[in-house]
Structure 1
C-alpha cells in the first residue's frame, strides 16, 4: 500500500511542476513528510520505482525524483534514467528541441556536422564563418536555412532577422556585377548606376548571408570578403572614402575543392568547414526516411492521397543517385506529377507502372540486385507523418552517442567534485544496463543466424570464464554481450578529443572501483579477440564493464592474496589455473614474465598489484628463480600485512 502511495505522490508532484527548475523541490524528505512515512521507507520505494524504469533520478544534493511518463508528456522524453544535475537534464532538452531535428540523419551521418555548426553559431558575438562543402544535391542550401532558423530559435538572431541568399554562379561571367551585388555601389560609380544601391552584405545586416557556389568569387571579391571578416567593415563600389559596417553571419557553400579554388588567406578566415556526405554514403535507414518523407511532402503539396505500389518504393530504394538528395526528390516529384496529371479529378491517386511514364518506368525497372523494404501498397496523405511509415526511434548508433554525451557530462561533474566516485560508478552501471537491456529486447533478433552463432560462442566463453575465474555470470548476460557485439558493426562513434579523454577517465575510474568485474571483462576480451578476431575500443569496454557491475557477480575467491611469478609464455597463468581448479576457489593470480624482465619491472608490477588489492590479511608470492627472492626488501614498506616469498 505504501509503495502505491509513494508512486502516486511522485506522479502528483511531477504533474505540479511548472518548469524544470521546480524539480529541485521533489525530494525524498518532501514525499516522506507529505505521506507521514519514514524517509528510509520512501527512499526504498523510490529506488524500486526507478529500477522499474518509471522514474528519473537527479543525483543532486538532496537527490530528486520525477515520474518518467508524466514528465515526458509535459516536457520532453529524457533518454537516460539518471542525471547528475538538473542542468544536465536541461542540456538534453536543448539538444532535443532544436530545429536540426528535422534534418534526416541528425543523429547519425549528420550528427557531427550539426554539432560543429551549433558550435560555430554560438561563438560570440556574431558566430564564426562556415563553409559547407559537398557534391550537388547533398542538402547544403537546406542546412544553411536550418542554421539560420536555429539562430533565431536560440535567440542568437531576432525573429525578423534577414536570410539573404546570393548564388555566385549567376554572375560567373561578370565578376564586377557579382561584386556590386555583394557590396553595393554608389550612384555614378559605373555606367547604369543611376542611384545608390545597397548590396546583399548590407541587406543581411543583423541576419545571415548565404553565398552559394562561392567558388565563383574571384580573388578580388575574396580579398574584400576576408577584409570584412577581419574588421566588420566594407566599402561600396565607387565609395572609397566611406566605410560601412554590417553585423552578419556568413555561410558559404561550394561543390569544389577548397584548396584549389580559394585563396589561403580567405580560407584562414573560415575556421569551420564541413563536408556533407553523398546520399550513397549515408545509411539505408536515412535513405528510406528520405523516400517516405518526400512522398509525404508531395501529398501535402498537391493535396492528394497517394497509393504507391511497393515495387516503386523498393526500386527507388535501390537506385543510385548521382545528384544525391536533389535527384531523389526530383525523381519522386516527377512520379507524383505524372500520376497527378493523368488523374487530377480524383483525390485518391494510385501510383503504379501504368501512370508514371515510360522513361521513369524504364529507369526504375533497370535496377538490379533489389533489396526489399516494402511488401504492401503504401498510403500517403497530407496528414501523414514520417513516423507512420518508418521507425524513427533512436538507433543503436545515436543511442550510444547520446549515452556517451551524458556520461561525459557525468565525468565533468565528477571532476568538479559534484559527484562522488561511487555515484559515478552507479550511473555508469545503471545506464549501461539500460542500454544492454534495450539491445536484448529488440524485435526479431532471435531469428538472426549470425546472432545465434554469437550467442553460442559467447556462452562457451562464459562457461570457460566461470570455471577459470570462479565467477557466475547470470541473467541475460550472454544474449546482452552477443547483441552488443552483433550491433557494434552498426555503431560508428566519432568522439571528440575531449570526449575521448572523458571516456578514458571513466574507464580508469571503473577499473579501480570494480577490480573483479574488470578482470572478467579483460579475460573475456582476450578470448573474444582470439576466437573471433574482434577488438573493442574504450567506449565498448566502458559499457560492458558498466553492465558487468550491474550484475552483482557472484565471485568465489579467497580473502587472502597469492600471485605466481614465472618466466615464459603463459607459464604462471597455466599453473595458477590448475591450482585454482583443484582448490575450487580463486586464490592465485599470475604474472607471465618475459625472459629479459628486470627486477625493477617485476617490483613495479607487484607494487601495482598491492595498490589494487586489499592485502592486509597477507600476500604470498611464488617465484621461479632465486634472483626474485630480493623482492621482500622493496615491498615490505608498501604492504600493511604479512608477506611470504
Structure 2
C-alpha cells in the first residue's frame, strides 16, 4: 500500500461527519504535513476526496460508489466567489450577504455605497462582487468593471465630469474631440466610483439623474439623450450624510460597511499575511521563511492604513530579505524580527489579549512559517524532527558545551539522549510496521536509487551478522540512511558524541557499519562521515534491546522563593491554557528549606500523586529536592532551575499533550532559544587550515598524451571521491625542472603517488607503467587513497569529539604512530582497524590530559605475556606520542591503554 492510499485510509477512519484536517492525518501517520497535503490534493483531483475551503481546510472522503458518480460529473460543486471569501473572512459575512442581495435584486440589481477607512480593501471587494455577478449570470462573461477615483480630478470639476459622462467637442477648453465617458464604457457592467465624496454637487446631481432613468448626456450636448445599463458602486472614507447630497444618497439603498483591519479577527489577519507572503513567493520564485516573532508582530502592530499598508509593508520586508539572499548575506530568504521596521516590531509588545490569541494560533515551540506559492497551506517549522537524530544531537551537544558543562557530563547526557532516541524510534516503528519488510513500501518518500542501496545494505548486514534483521530494524535503517544522505547532500554536519563508546562496546557491528558506509559511497558517489557508522552500529545491535514502555502522566510543580512568586506564574499559565494543570508552591524567604520540602511532600500525599514530577524551581536548595522525593515516593523527579513563566507555560503544555518526563526536560533546554531565533549575531570568522586535496601524478616523457591515457585507466579502475582526489597529468618537456614543478604542487596537494617511466627525486610512492598495467600498482594506489581519505574524514570527526587537544594536530602525530608501528611489525593495517586505533588513541590522549585512566583490561598480565613483542613496540611508540603532548612525568600511558591498542592491532592479523 502506497503512502497516498495510507492517507486516504486514515482519512476514512478519522472522518466523523465534519471533515478532517491535514494536521490530523499527519499526526496520526507521523508523516510531514507537506507530504500529506500533496497526497490529499491528488486525491481531490482523482475525485476520491472533497476539499472544503476555510481555516482550517477540511477534507471529506467520497464513498467508492460515489467516486464513479463523481467521475461522470464534470466537477464537484464549488463555493461561489463571495461565499468562499466569507468563509475565511468571518467579519465580512454581513457585507458579503448585502453585496449578494444587491447583485441578485431584480431586475438589474441595487446601487451600493461601500463605507470604510483607507486601505481596508474596498476596491478588492468590488472586484469580487463583479466576479460573483458573472458567476450568477447577472452579467455576461465579458461585462466591464470600470474603476474611477474621483480624487484624481477633484481640482478640475469639468474634467472630472467629462471623464464620467464624456464630452462634446468644444464643451470646455481642451475638449478637441468628441469623447465617450466611463458610464458609456461601463455599459452592461459595473462602474466603481472610489472617493465619491470628491465628486462636486453638479456631478452628484447628474449621476442621480442617470441612476433614476439610465439616461445621460455628454458635456456640451443638449439635444441627444444616451442610454447605458450600469450598476453604480460608490465608496467613501467619510460620513455620507456630511459629504454627499441627500438627493444622491436617497438613490443608493444599500450601504455596505467594510471593517478596518483592527476590527478583524487574528485568523483573518493571518490569512491576509499568508496571501501576501505567497504573492511575494510567487514573484520571487522562492520560498520565504518568516520567524514566529515576525508573524506575531505583523499580526498585532498598529497598521493605520489597513490592508493596503499591510501589503506594502510585507512587500518591503520581503524585498529586504531577498536583497540579503542575493548578496550572499543569508543563504535563504529569511525574515527575522530584527529585520522589521520599529513600528512593526512594536506589535510584539501588545497586551495580554494578544498573547492569548497568539497561543491559540501559534505553537510557541515553532520558530518559522514557510510560505511557498507551491503549497496551499503554510508549513510550520521549528520542532526538531523526532525521527532525525542529527538535529537532536547537534543542538543538545552545542547547548551543553556553550554552557560550559563538564565534558563527562556532556557525554553522559548524550548517551541518555541517543538511547532515548533509539528506544522511542523503535517504538514508533513497531506501531507503524507489522508486516514483512518490503522495500517497495518506501516508494513515494525514498528515491529509487537510495532504495536499491538500502536493500544492498540490509542484505550485506544480514550476511555479515549471520542472522535476519527484524522488520522494524530494516525500516528504521532505511529511513535513517535516507535522512543521513539528505543531510550530507545539504552540506550539514553529522556528529555522534557516542562514537568511541559504540566502537568499543559493539566492535563487530561498528566494523560492519564502516563497510556499509563504503557501499553507500560507492553506489551514490558521496562521502559518508565516520560518525554515521556509530548510528548504524546501534541499529545492528538493537534487535534484542527493544523495550515497551507505557507513557506516564507528568505533574508540573513550580516552587519559588517569595510570597506569591510560584503561584503567580502558575496562575498565568493555567489561565493562558484554560486549565488548572500546573501546581504552584510558594517558598517565603523566612521559611526553612526543610519546611518547604515537608509541604511539598504533604501535597503529594494529600493529592495522591503517583505520577512523575517535573520540578521548576528558581534557585538555592530547592534544586536538591528531587532525590528525596524519588526515594520516598518511588517516582521519577526532574528539576529545572531558574524558572520563568515561559518555562512553566511550555512544560505544562507538553505535559498536557502526554509527553514523557525526560522529553519535557529536553524541551525545557530549548525554551531559552525560542525567542532569540531572530537575533542572528555575526560570529567571529575562524580561518581553518585548508585540508589539502590528494593528488596522483601521471608523468609522460613525450608530452601529456600518454599521461592522459593513464588517467583514463585510473579513473575507470579506482574508487575515489573527486572532491578528495585529483589525477594530474604532467610531462617532462619544458624548461622548468620536474621536481620543482612537483614541489610547487605540494602547496595545494598532498601527493600520494607518482606514475612515471623515470625515477623522480621525490619521497613518495612511485610506480611504473608495468605496475599499473600488470602489477599491483592499482591496488596499492587504492589502499593509499582509502587510508588518506579516512584520515581526512577523521580530522573533522576528532575536532568535534576532543576537548583538550586539537583534532588536526593529534591526527598528524597518530598517523606517524600508525606508520611507525606498521613498519616495525612489518604489517599493513586495514582501514577499519586504522579507524579504531586512531579514534582510541586520540580519546586516550584527551583522557590523560584530564588525568583519567582506562578501565582495567581483562586478564591483562596473561595478554601481555602472550603478545610481548607487539606490546613492547606499542608501549614505546605510545610513550613517544605521550611526550609530544607534555603530559608530564607523573602521567604515564599505563599498561591497560597499551593492551587496548595492542588488541586493535592484533585484530588486523
Q: TM-score, with normalisation over the residues of structure 1?
A: 0.46
Q: Find the structure with the greater CA-based Rg.
A: 2
Q: TM-score, with normalisation over the residues of structure 2?
A: 0.33
The one of the two structures with greater contact order (alpha-carbon pairs below 8 A, sep at least 6) is 1
